[in-house]
Amino acid sequence: MATGAAVTKLETSADNGHDPHDYVVPVIHIHLPESVVKVGFYSGLAAAVAAGAVDLPLALLFGVGVAMVRHRRV
The 10s digit of each residue's pLDDT in 33-71 is 888 989 999 999 999 999 999 999 999 999 999 999 888
Cite the DSSP H helix spans in the chain: 13-16, 34-51, 56-71
Whether this prediction's pTM lies above 0.75 is answered by: no
Residue 47 CB coordination number (10 Å): 11
